[in-house]
Structure 1
Amino acid sequence: MTSTPDAPLGSRIIDDKSPICVPFILDRLAQYRKQAADAGSAAPARPFVVGINGVQGVGKTTLVQTLYETLQDREGLETLVVSIDDFYLTHADQNALAAAHPDNALVQVRGEPGTHDTALLTSFFDAVCSSTPTHVPEYDKARFSGKGDRAAPTPEKPGRLVNGPGQPPLQVVIVEGWCVAFRAVAPAEVETKWQQSGASPNSKLASKLHTHKLEHLLFVNKKLADYDAAVTNRIDALIHLDAEQTPYVYDWRREQEAALRQARGTGMTDEQVEQFVDAYYPAYELFSDGVRRGIFGEDKGRQLRLIVGKDRRVKESIVL
């Protein structure tokens, strides 16, 4: 299992999600295998892909760990966990993107759709879904004074290999992250939300869309369309950990950093946290509603939405 770079460090996360999510995933996996058997195959043609979406600090890491242990250890299924964060652009490519769009604050640092390497995402999932040997990328957020960079493979440290010689083929892949399963929306919807945001009250919980130019938001939206073929269309089941109120992410992230400062003597200040989350928040505003409606259209039963309160406890579960 790969590490998740933004793992929650506080002790207040209560894992009341796994008892709901584990049966859901096992049921979907059983149906996935049955479809293969009904088609005359001894096993599915490719791994079962589970997506996990949730704002930062909602408890993704705790849930992912339980799912991995259940599938790998209890069910005996060769399982891989990957984070969307490990597919961020290299430091050099991120700098080039920022330089090409110097007035677009949304792409000056990693975060928003468009700052991931979708070519790498595509080639990685092509390999995983065809049971071809491939190395799992790893992103080091500490490099370049926190700006981050992808760990460059070397002959001595090529990275973790999956589907390699003598290795059992992957049967389940869990891909987790804050923007997993986001889909681009119609440009007119971006414009409508942007116009509405201009009337929001001036408060810390107000919309962030009006702080950006419309063309900059449309740029991110256009880039997000590339994620469909790379990963989103390959997801077989989705768990959406949905904050009852999206602004909770600010408090949850502050709690993470406070715990980090206490444990390691380093971490972002509250002001830095607000600036950090601000870089992600426009995507939450633009694309979360699409996930809430369900990403599978009329193919029902493949998505589980858990609505989580301020205390991170599940208040409602909905199968879409």
Structure 2
Amino acid sequence: MASGPEIVDDKSPICIPFILARLKEQQRVQQLNQQQHLGSDTGNRRPFVIGLNGVQGVGKTTLVAALAKTLQSEYGLETLVVSIDDFYLPHAEQKELAAAQPDNKLVACRGEPGTHDMKLASAFLEAVTQGRPVKIPQYDKSAYAGEGDRVPESHWLGVNGPGQRKVEAVIVEGWCVGFRPLSPMAITAQWMGPSRTLQQHDLQHLEFVNWQLESYEPITAMFDAFIHLDAEDLEWVYDWRLEQEVNLIRERGSGMTREQVVKFVDAYYPGYELYAPSLRQGVFADKLSCHLRLVVSKDRRVKESFII
């Protein structure tokens, strides 16, 4: 059987200069503020927070690993990577959410906005950005026959503790990171227009997910920079996910079939259809040149890049 696609990191050479430029600007502004209020630079700098969004299979994991390694080893920045996946609701709470809306397929299982514990996520990032000791939540996707559950807190690893270097850079990655709520009119317009998956759902169910995004706003507001791995054609996510499963079958002897892949991706695809258009316009309304958008072709290589 043929091997998987060659992994080529053509993204971090674009992202690293962008991150360093934004970090330099953040440090300049912080230093000015400290001098104005304290008369000197105390050296206490808030960690630099990067949001990173990418559809499944686009190369997000490879990029995040490369960015963290480069920032840590080449630039000496104590770098923490966290995934939005680690803030999924505990199994019992997810089951309660699904039971409360039995007809809403969007919240029948983890995935869409509304299935994360954003109070936990906000409290965690607030602690990290304030330099306080905090434990990193973990989620086990294999628990309950794949339904998933939060790992007991006793197994969480800590940062900013005694004897540890303070976190200086944070990468928050995930498929829905940076999604921002739309107006009811915008949701209705997209639902009524041409789409692949939106009309498989009641409008009220899409509106519920959109309303849940309000609780994600405090996280987005913490970002100092944002990286968006975009695809020329969003439907490639189905092929990319199938490639991953084919590789899993070859390497481990098990993986999803084509039909299972379509069903799996369909659970996320409404989010792509609703929020990708606005995300492409820029995640920030008040921060210029802080959003980097990389558009990739079918082979996952960067075709275009834009700073917004």
What TM-score range do you get, normalising by the shorter chain?
A: over 0.9
Partner of 1:33: 27
Match of 1:315 among 297, 303, 308: 303
1:10 and 1:274 mapped to 2: Cα distance? Answer: 20
Residue range with higher mean Cα deviation, 34-43 or 218-227: 34-43
Match of 2:283 among 292, 295, 312: 295
2:112 and 2:4 mapped to 1: Cα distance? Answer: 25
Alignment gaps of 5+ in structure 2: 36-40
Matched residue SS, 1:58:
coil
1:299 and 1:168 mapped to 2: Cα distance? Answer: 29
* Alpha carbons 1:33, 1:44 under 8 Å: kept: no
- How much does 1:44 deviate? 5.5
| TM-superposition CA deviations, 1:61-87 (whole Å, max 9, x none) | 111111111111111111100011111
1:32 and 1:258 mapped to 2: Cα distance? Answer: 43
After the TM superposition, which residues 39-118 of structure 1 pair with which residues of structure 2 at under 5 Å, given as runs? 39=33, 40=35, 41-43=41-43, 45-118=45-118
2:8 is equivalent to residue 19 of structure 1: no
| TM-superposition CA deviations, 1:209-228 (whole Å, max 9, x none) | 00000000000000011100
- How much does 1:12 deviate? 3.0
* Alpha carbons 1:208, 1:282 under 8 Å: kept: yes
Partner of 1:273: 261
Paired AA for residue 253 in structure 1:
R
2:200 is equivalent to residue 211 of structure 1: yes
Matched residue SS, 1:115:
coil
Match of 2:233 among 233, 245, 248: 245
Partner of 2:215: 226
* Alpha carbons 1:86, 1:137 under 8 Å: kept: yes
| TM-superposition CA deviations, 1:14-49 (whole Å, max 9, x none) | 211111111111111111111112222344542100
Matched residue SS, 2:131:
coil
- How much does 1:275 deviate? 0.4
Paired AA for residue 59 in structure 2:
G
Percent of residue pairs bearing the same amino acid type: 54
- How much does 1:298 deviate? 4.5
Paired AA for residue 84 in structure 1:
I
After the TM superposition, which residues 84-163 of structure 1 pair with which residues of structure 2 at under 5 Å, given as runs? 84-154=84-154, 157=155, 159-163=156-160
| TM-superposition CA deviations, 1:177-218 (whole Å, max 9, x none) | 101111000011001100113xxxxxxxx5200000000000
Partner of 2:38: none
| TM-superposition CA deviations, 1:267-315 (whole Å, max 9, x none) | 1111111100000000111111121000112521101000111110111
Match of 1:236 among 195, 215, 224: 224
* Alpha carbons 2:181, 2:210 under 8 Å: kept: yes
* Alpha carbons 2:295, 2:305 under 8 Å: kept: yes
Partner of 1:194: 191
* Alpha carbons 2:27, 2:45 under 8 Å: kept: no
Paired AA for residue 195 in structure 1:
M
1:285 and 1:45 mapped to 2: Cα distance? Answer: 38
Going from structure 1 to structure 2, the CA distance change for 1:268 and 1:43 (only over 3 Å counts) comes to farther
In the superposition, the TM-score normalised over structure 2's length comes to 0.95
Aligned-residue CA RMSD (Å): 1.3
Residue range with higher mean Cα deviation, 64-73 or 39-48: 39-48
| TM-superposition CA deviations, 1:86-131 (whole Å, max 9, x none) | 1111111100000000000000000000000111111111111111
In the superposition, the TM-score normalised over structure 1's length comes to 0.91
Partner of 1:172: 169
Equivalenced residues, count: 300
* Alpha carbons 2:87, 2:139 under 8 Å: kept: yes
Alignment gaps of 5+ in structure 1: 1-8, 198-205
Match of 2:273 among 275, 282, 285: 285
Going from structure 1 to structure 2, the CA distance change for 1:115 and 1:10 (only over 3 Å counts) comes to farther
